[in-house]
Amino acid sequence: MRPQRRRYHRGVRPHLPFALAASSLVFACDPPPMTPDAGTDDASSLEDARLDAAPERDAAPPPEPMAAVAPFVQYVDPTVGTGGAHYNDIGSVHPGPQMPFGMIRPGPDTVNEMGFAPTFTHCSGYHADDEYVTGFSHTRMHGVGINDWNVVAFMPTIGFDASRASETGIRSHFDPEREHAGVGAYSTVLDDPMFGGREIAVELTAARRAAVTRITFPERGTGGDVDASVVIDLGHHQNGVDILDGELTVLPEAREVEGRVHFSGGYSGRFGGMDVFFVMRFSRAFESHGTWDAITEGAPGALHEGETAHTGPSGGAFVRFDVGTDREVRVGVAISFLDVARARMNLDDEANDLDFIRLRGSLEATWERLLSQVEVEARFERDVRIFYSALYHSFFMPTLATEADGHYRGIDGMEHEADGFTYYTDFSLWDTYRTMHSLVTLLAPETQRDFVRSLIAMGQQRGTYPRWPLGVGETNGMLGDPAPIVIADSYLRGVTDFDLREAYDIALASADADPPGARGSMEPYLRLGYAPIESGGSAASKTLEFAYADHAVGVLAEALGETSDAARFATRAENFRNIYDPAQGFFVGRRESGAFEPVQAHLWQDVYAEGNARQYLWLAPQDVDGLADTLGGREMALARLTEFFEESYAERRTPAPPQWYWQGNEPDIHAPYLFALWGERSAGARAISWVRAVHYGLGPKGLPGNDDSGTMSAWYVFSALGIFPIAATEDFVLGTPLFTHAVVHLAEGDLEIEAPAASDVTIYPRAITFDREAVTTPTMTHAQLAGGGVLAFDLSSSP
C-alpha cells in the first residue's frame, strides 16, 4: 500500500487576496496569502489532540481585520466534508456542482484502489481519498448517512468492447492533483493505463433540472485512432442500492439516449424504490452506437452493434464519436420523476443549446447572489473560507421535484400540479428543523415558504406529515414529528403565506391519534405522558421529541386562536419532565408501570436514538426554564452544563462517537447556547468558540460528521455571526461573533453585526447593544433582527 497523501487542498479554486477588489467572476491564479495563518487547513490534525486545542496561530497580536470582497464564490471550498473515516469527520458531501436546492446533482462516483466503496464512507457516492471513477451520476443526497440515489450515469472511455462490459471494466483512474471542485463546475482527468498513456478531460456543470458535461478526448497518437466512447450504464449504483429495473432507447437522429432507472436504496427501498427518467443529448452525431449486456457470473459480456433498445437492471448503451478533428463532446442530461417527456422538456427548457460556458456562468452567478447576501470582515481568511463554504452547503438539500411545467409526482405516487408554489422533496427533517430552516427563512423566505407548502402538500396526500420524505415516497426515517416544528418556526419568523388551518389540521392527525406511518407510540404517550419502553426502541428520545413537537402544535393552535388546544399542547410540551429520573439525574427510559430504567450515561442504549443520556439531557429547548427546574434549579442546571462541557473539552477524539458533547449529531447542538439562556453568557461564549475552532475546518475533513442536509453547516453560519435560533420560537440567542463586522442584507433592511475586538481569544461579551440601546436579555426576536439595525458586541479576552 502506498502511503496516503494529504490531499485536502486538491482542486479548490484559487482565491483572491482578501482585500483585493474584484468586479467580475474572474479569478486570480496563485494569489499571495492574505495574512500569515498557522491554523491548519483541515480538521485532521485534531484527531490525536485534546479537543480543547484551538488551531494554533501566531502568539503576536492578531492581524487587522480585512473585508471579504466579491466575488464571494471565490471563498467556497466545495471539498469540505467530502472525506473522513469516522463518526467525527465523515461529512458525506459530494464535490459536484448544483443549483441551490437543485433537482440534478452531477458528479463522480468513486472507489478506492481495491475497487471498494465502503457504504459508511460513500453515502454521496464519492470519497476524497479515492482515485478511481466508476461513472458520473446525476442524483444524490447531501450530507446524509444513508446510501441512496446515485443513478443515471455515463462514463467516457477509450476502446469499449465486450471484455469491459461491466462497471469494473469501464472505471478509470484519475489524478487527484488534477481534480478541481469549484462553485460553477467540477473537473477531472481520466488517465487509466488502459488508455495507453492518453487522457480524457471531464468537466461538469448544472442548471436546476439539467446538467451539461464537456468531454475532451485525446488527440490521435502513436496508438492510432481514438476509439472515443460514452457508455451509459443502467446498472450503475453505489453499495447499499439495488437497480431493480431499467430501460433505454438510443435515438441516433436526435443524438439522444432516453430511458428510465428503477432503484431501491437504504431509504427508498422502504417504499419499494422509485423511477428516475432521463434524456441524454449529445452535441455531436454518433459515429456508431449499440447496446451492451453486462458481464455476469454465468455469462460473458456482449456488445450489440447498431441496436437501439435495452431493458433490464444492468447493461445499457454506448455511443462512439469521430474525434479526429474535433475532440470535444458535450452531453446534456436532464431528469424527471414523472416521465421521459418531462425529462426532455426539462432539458429543452434549461440546456437545449448544451452551452457549457453559459450554464457554468449562470450557476456561478446564482450562487454569487446568494452568498453576497452576507458580507463579513475577519482577521483570518481561513475563517472566511470556512464561513462561505458552510453557507454554500446550507443550501444544497431539500431537492427540487417540480418539473418545468409545474407538475410533480407526490409521495402518494400520483401526478400533481404545484399551484402557486414550487414543490420540493428529500427533507431530512429530524436534522434540519434545528438550524437549516431558520437560516433559509432569514435569507430566502420565499424558498422556505415553498418548503412549508411542500410539507403541507405531502400531509394532504398521506393524511399526516412525513418525517423523512425521499423522492416520491415516505421513508419513516428517524423519529418524532419534526414537520410541525419546521412549520411553527417558519410562521413565528414571518413566513405566513400558507394555509395555517390546513397545516394545523394535518398536525392534529398525528398529535392526537396514532395513524400508521406517523409518530408511533402515541396511544401510551397520550395515556401516560411518555412513550414507554414497551412501545418500541428510542423510547426516551421519542418522549423528548414528541414534547418538542407538541410545543410546535401549540404554537399553531395559538396562531389560529384555538386557545383550549394551545393550553393543552403547552402542557404536553412539558412531558419531558415525565422521564427524568432524579436518582440517576438523566432523562431515561420508563416502563408502563412507571419504573425508570437504569442507564449507563456514556453508552448508546436502546432508549436513545443516535446518542446517549448525557447528550439527550438538554433536549427541551422549547422550555429552558422548565428544563432548569427539572434539573434541580438554574444553579444545578448550570453546574451540570459546565461539567458537560469541561469533560467535552478534555475528551479525546476517537473513531467512535464522543461520550460528551457531540457536534456531529443533532440532539445537543443547541447546548452551548443554554449557558446564555441560563445567565452565563461568558461560559457560552467559550463553548461556542471551542466548537467553531475545533470541529470545523477546510478540506475533506472539515465537518464534525455528516452535514445532515446542511444542518451542521447552518450551525456554523449562525454561530459565526453570533446568533442562534431556537426552533419553533421567534428567538435568536445572542452568542459571540467570530467576525469583527458582518452585514446581512435582508428584505426589510441590513442587519449589521459589529464586534471590532473579535479574535481567537477576545470572545467574551461585556455588553451588547442594538441600535445603541443596551440589550439586557439573552435573546432577540427574528422580527427585530430581520427588520435591520446594528447589533454590537463589546468583547473582552476575559470572562
pLDDT in tens, 635-685: 999 999 999 999 999 999 889 999 999 999 999 999 999 999 999 999 999
Residue 54 has pLDDT above 60, yes or no: no
45 confidence band (pLDDT: 50, 70, 90)? very low
Counting residues of the chain whose pLDDT is more than 70, the rounded percentage is 92
Which helix (H) or strand (E) segment holds residue 228: the answer is strand 228-233
Question: Which residues, in sequence order, are bridge partners of residue 417?
Answer: 407
Residue-by-residue DSSP string for 384-438: HHHHHHHHHHTTS-SEE---TTSEEE-TTS-EEE--SS--EE---HHHHTTTHHH
The C-alpha cell at 763 is 470572545
d(CA 337, CA 320): 28
Residues 388, 391, 397, 400, CA torsion sign: negative
Residue 302 has pLDDT above 60, yes or no: yes
320 confidence band (pLDDT: 50, 70, 90)? very high
Please state whether beta strands 473-474 and 469-470 pair in parallel, antiparallel, or not at all (unpaired).
Answer: antiparallel
* Three-class DSSP category at 59: coil
d(CA 408, CA 394): 24
Number of H helices, E strands in the chain: 19, 35
Contacts of 736 (CB under 8 A, 6+ apart): 684, 685, 688, 689, 722, 755, 758, 763, 764, 765, 793, 795
Question: How many CA atoms within 13 Å lie on the side-chain side of 332?
Answer: 29
The C-alpha cell at 329 is 463532446
**407, 515, 442: which is closest to 746 by C-alpha?**
442
Calculate mean pLDDT across residues 122-137: 98
Residue 225 has pLDDT above 90, yes or no: no
Sole residue written with cell 456561478 = 364
Distance of CA 640 to the CA centre of its chain: 32
**745, 738, 719, 734: which is closest to 770 by C-alpha?**
734
The tens digit of pLDDT for each residue in 752-784 reads 999 999 999 999 999 999 999 999 999 999 999
219 confidence band (pLDDT: 50, 70, 90)? confident
Ranges 56-70, 229-243, 590-604: which has the least confidence: 56-70
Q: From the CB of residue 533, how many other CB atoms can be counted at a distance below 10 Å? A: 21
| Res 47: pLDDT | 38
Calculate mean pLDDT across residues 249-260: 98
The C-alpha cell at 274 is 422509485
The C-alpha cell at 257 is 439516449
CB 539 within 8 A of CB 519: no
Question: Which residues, in sequence order, are bridge partners of residue 247?
Answer: 260, 311
The C-alpha cell at 565 is 388546544
Residue 9 has pLDDT above 70, yes or no: no
CB 390 within 8 A of CB 374: no
Which helix (H) or strand (E) segment holds residue 470: the answer is strand 469-470
**548, 540, 507: which is closest to 521 by C-alpha?**
540
Rg (CA), the chain: 26
- Using CA atoms of 585, 589, 590, 591 in order, give the dihedral in degrees to the nearest 10: -150
**34, 54, 33, 35: which is closest to 43 by C-alpha?**
54
Q: From the CB of residue 404, how many other CB atoms can be counted at a distance below 10 Å? A: 18
Calculate mean pLDDT across residues 442-468: 98
On the 0-12 / 13-18 / 19+ scale of CB atoms within 10 A, 56 is exposed
CB 123 within 8 A of CB 92: yes
Please state whether beta strands 328-336 and 186-190 pair in parallel, antiparallel, or not at all (unpaired).
Answer: unpaired
Ramachandran sector of residue 679 (left: φ over 0; alpha: ψ -120 to 50; beta: rest): left
Backbone torsions φ then ψ of 738, nearest 5 degrees:
-80, -30
Residue 41 has pLDDT above 50, yes or no: no
Letter for the amino acid at 657?
A: P
Which helix (H) or strand (E) segment holds residue 491: the answer is helix 482-492
d(CA 483, CA 330): 41
Residue 462 has pLDDT above 60, yes or no: yes
Say which DSSP state 485 is in: H
Calculate mean pLDDT across residues 13-31: 35
Calculate mean pLDDT across residues 432-448: 98
Calculate mean pLDDT across residues 223-252: 93
Question: What is the helix, strand, coil percentage profile of the chain, to 5?
Answer: 30, 20, 50
| Res 32: pLDDT | 30
The C-alpha cell at 767 is 455588553
Backbone torsions φ then ψ of 210, nearest 5 degrees:
-135, 155
Q: Where are the beta strands (DSSP E) in 560-640?
A: 580-581, 586-587
* Omega cis (within 30) before 398: yes
| Res 56: pLDDT | 54
Say which DSSP state 221 is in: B
**503, 506, 482: which is closest to 432 by C-alpha?**
482
d(CA 641, CA 628): 10
Question: How many CA atoms within 13 Å lie on the side-chain side of 595?
Answer: 5
* Angle at 671 (CA atoms; ends 666, 677), nearest 5 degrees: 140
> What value does the mean pLDDT of the chain take?
93
**719, 731, 657: which is closest to 686 by C-alpha?**
719
Sole residue written with cell 427546574 = 629
* Omega cis (within 30) before 658: no
CB 336 within 8 A of CB 346: yes
- Residue of higher predicted confidence among 86 and 59: 86
| Res 226: pLDDT | 80
